[in-house]
Structure 1
Amino acid sequence: MTRPARLGRPTGPRPGFSRDDVVDAALGIGIADFTLTAVAKHLGVAVSGLYRTISSREDLLAACLERIAAKVDVPAAGRRWPDAVRAHAEAIWVMLDRYPGLAGVIMGVPWAHQLFAAPVAQACQVLVDGGLEVEEAGVVLDFVGDTVISTHAQIEVMRSPVAPSGPGGPTGLEETSRFAAAADRPALPEALTPNESWLERGGLDRKIEIIIRGVAAGLAPSATDTGGKPASGGDVSGRR
């Protein structure tokens, strides 16, 4: 899938603001929340004036995602593949924390992930250089990306007030805990029981270690070094 085609060409005289200014305004409002009306108001121009630098909201969203993708940290070359996987997962998490709502955008806009092809390709090469085959590296990055993004999206829900209560109302975690406490519901393992970690990283670090162990189990002995983390049993949470 390729980047969405622009719906038209910017027209009219050169404006007093740049395309970068429009992207700055959109990101300042929020990657998931901006509207062209809000962006225009932020810049002090009419909505029609925006079309001198962008062709549509879709075009602006793509520009925002390109800006974000350009700032994603790529695992350093020379790392063993397990360490590169951990670094990649952390880089995605930091990116999502920096731009609230981004996880939902990536999950909800079919082409959004394509704008991150460059950093993912670089991370893939680091994993290959670190001992994985190309196809294995691709699957690992896909699995890790899905895991981090979906975990972050769920945590954003847990942190936010439940609609339509609005600010000051119960959060998603509080409502989840209320339902979980119902007497007629069966007990679940600790990892599936609502707790304060669901407002931070949840079980993300443990999930990443399980992915690494699973991949290592299918590799030749020379490629199974998990980088000092427990390969079986013990604490695989990876928490510092």
Structure 2
Amino acid sequence: MLPEPSRRAGPRPGPKRRLGREKIVQAAVGLGIEQVSIGAVAAALGAAPASLYRYIDGLDDLVAAAVETVFAATPLPSPDRGRRAYLEEEAATRLHLLTRYAGLVPESSAGLAGVAGRRFEQLVQGLAGLGFPVEEAVPAADAVVDLVHDGAAQIARLRDPGDPSRPSPSVAAALEHYSPGVRAAVERIIDAPGEHLARKLGLVLDGIATRRTAPSP
């Protein structure tokens, strides 16, 4: 069972301050999850870092709450349009979140795992409602989620942070070892990584559809 992020009903006892858990979490979201630190959030709120601990347990708690806020603002798509559209829309939503909030990519902490696990559960239940047995819905959802997370991580590595018009040094070095045809194809991926990811997703969804319609052995 995945661990749950810590929750608080309210601030700890003490004199009233102008801070609050919701205000702190919103400040973390505004900063960008990948840039969150207790000090940065405190500075954004004009508060002392120690004062935040009356409302949060620490950085993991704050990041998990920020991630949960982001996910809550972007609910799962409606399954009414069918299985493929349901997974395509969730993939597009996740890619948007992962490219906007780079801090969503790692899910190693207990809090992030809990938030990600709840959304994954909802995604699986949506597929189950569309006729997937749970034992098939889990790998189908996992394949799509893994593909999008891996694609977002790759997109982040394609361009030189100092000059986004150029490939990153590692990608530029790799291009030197490709044959002309392969190099041209890879350069097209660098120019339009979202389209490349959509094609890969199409292959995965085609495979899922084929598996669902193939006769049982």
TM over 0.5: yes
CA contact (8 A) 1:80 1:127 kept: no
Query: Shift of residue 129 of structure 1?
Result: 2.5
- Equivalent residue runs for 1:139-158 within 5 Å: 139-158=139-158
SS at match of 2:204: helix
Distance 2:118 2:109 in 1: 18
Do residues 73 (structure 1) and 79 (structure 2) align?
no
1:211 is aligned, of 188, 204, 207, to 204
Aligned to 2:90: 88
Aligned to 1:38: 40
CA contact (8 A) 1:26 1:34 kept: yes
Distance 1:169 1:96 in 2: 18
Do residues 180 (structure 1) and 174 (structure 2) align?
yes
Q: 1:56 to 1:123 in 2, by over 3 A?
A: same
Query: Shift of residue 31 of structure 1?
Result: 0.4
Aligned to 1:28: 30
Deviations 1:138-159, CA, capped at 9 Å, x for gaps: 1111111111011111111223
- TM-score, structure 2 as length reference: 0.82
- Equivalent residue runs for 1:6-21 within 5 Å: 10-21=12-23
Corresponding letter in the other structure for 2:210 = A
CA contact (8 A) 1:80 1:131 kept: no
Moved more, 199-208 or 19-28: 199-208
Q: How many pairs are equivalent?
A: 210
Higher helix share: 2
Distance 2:109 2:185 in 1: 28
1:98 is aligned, of 97, 100, 113, to 100
RMSD: 2.8
Distance 1:220 1:200 in 2: 30
User: What's the % identity of the aligned pairs?
Assistant: 28
Q: 1:43 to 1:96 in 2, by over 3 A?
A: same
Moved more, 173-182 or 22-31: 173-182
Deviations 1:72-115, CA, capped at 9 Å, x for gaps: 23121323212211111112112223323322x33x43652320
Distance 1:191 1:201 in 2: 17
Q: 1:210 to 1:191 in 2, by over 3 A?
A: farther
Gaps of 5+ in 2: none
Aligned to 1:125: 125
Distance 1:174 1:57 in 2: 30
- TM-score, structure 1 as length reference: 0.75
Distance 1:120 1:169 in 2: 33
1:52 is aligned, of 40, 51, 54, to 54
Distance 2:163 2:160 in 1: 10
